[in-house]
Each structure stands twice: as structure tokens, then as C-alpha cells.
Amino acid sequence: MIQRIQTLYLIVVILLGAVVPFFVNLWSDAKGNEIFAENEVFVSIAFYAVAVLGLLGIVLFKNRQNQFVVNRLNMILNLFLLGFFVYRSLNLSGETLVSEKGIGMLIPVFSIVFLVLANRAIKKDEDLVKSVDRLR
């Protein structure tokens, strides 16, 4: 399980979803207060869901098709989270006082990249197993 590269990619997704958002600020409001994921309930639930789906993807290592589907669902959740951040950043830019966007808004982008890499590795394993089955 751990020797497969997609497991390492999914571990990175879990770390990006469960650890990083609580140490990196997502944005700063007009008063200069830094907003982390723990300050927004929806955002923290979404990041925890990303981490849980990543863990579920690791646990499903024996069933590659289900692992592939769980990773796709995780990508969709990350896209929703990214859409929320884009909406939020567009609202932040309209303030009279300039507020700053944090680097934490890019976490879903990095998660999607690692999920795509994991799905490519899963597809490669599935193709390898199918080619071996053909030889029997």
C-alpha cells in the first residue's frame, strides 16, 4: 500500500486538507485580522472532508475503481472549495479598505494537482493489471 506512488500523493492531499489550512491564513479582512480555516465553519468542514476522502482513497487500495471514483469526488469537492474562495476573493476586493488574499486560497489547486497525479498512477496500475490478465 505505502510503496505505491498514489498513496504518497494522497498523503500529501491529506496533509494539505487537514494540517496546512489551519496554519496558513486564507485572507485578511479590512481590519487586518487574519482569517484561518478554523474561523470559517464551512471552510473547515470542507477541508476536513477533503482529508477524509483522501484517507478513504488510501484505504481503498485493493479496489482501484472505487479509489479512482473517490479521488474524483475529492476533486469535485476541491473545485467547490476553490469556487468559494474565488467568490470570496471577488467580494474582498470590493472593500473600501484594501484586504489581502492569503496563500491558503491556493490549497485546493495544489490538492487537485496531487489528486490528478494519483488518478494517473491508479490508471497506470489498472492498465498493468489488465495487460497481465490478458496474457493468462
Residues 23-79: pLDDT tens digits?
888 877 777 777 788 888 888 899 999 999 999 999 998 888 999 999 999 999 999
Q: Do 57 and 67 touch, CB atoms closer than 8 A?
A: yes
pLDDT value, residue 95: 57
- pTM for the whole thing? 0.87
**C-alpha dihedral sign at 40, 41, 42, 46:** positive
What is the Cα–Cα distance from 97 to 10, expressed in whole angstroms? 39
Q: pLDDT tens digits, residue range 77-115?
A: 999 999 988 887 777 655 555 567 778 888 999 999 999
User: CA-to-CA distance for 36 and 49, rounded, in angstroms?
Assistant: 17
